[in-house]
Amino acid sequence: MKIYTRTGDMGSTGLFGGPRVAKDDDRIEAYGTVDELNAALGIARSAGVPDDIDQQLAMFQSELFSMGAELASTDPDKHGLRLIGEAHIARLEAIIDRHEETLTPLKNFILPAGSLAASQIHLARAICRRAERRVVTLVRRHEVSVSEPLMIYLNRLGDLLFVMSRVVNSRQGVAEVLWVKPETQG
**Does residue 7 form part of some domain?**
no
Inter-residue contact 62 to 88 (CB < 8 Å)? no
**Does residue 184 form part of some domain?**
no
Number of domains in the chain: 1
CA distances from 122 to 17, 118, 157 (A): 35, 6, 12
pLDDT tens for each residue of 94-103: 999 999 999 9
User: Is residue 135 over pLDDT 90?
Assistant: yes
Looking at the whole model, is its pTM more than 0.85? yes
Per the prediction, the chain carries an average pLDDT of 94
User: What is the enclosing helix (H) or strand (E) of 154?
Assistant: helix 148-171
Write down how long the chain is.
Answer: 186
pLDDT tens for each residue of 62-82: 999 999 999 999 899 999 999
User: Is residue 49 over pLDDT 90?
Assistant: yes
Amino acid 14: pLDDT: 84
* CATH code: domain of residue 157: 1.20.1200.10
**Does residue 105 form part of some domain?**
yes
**Does residue 8 form part of some domain?**
no
**Does residue 1 form part of some domain?**
no
What domain range includes position 137? 14-171
CA distances from 177 to 43, 115, 118 (A): 22, 11, 12
**Does residue 178 form part of some domain?**
no
**What single DSSP character describes residue 13?**
E
**Does residue 100 form part of some domain?**
yes
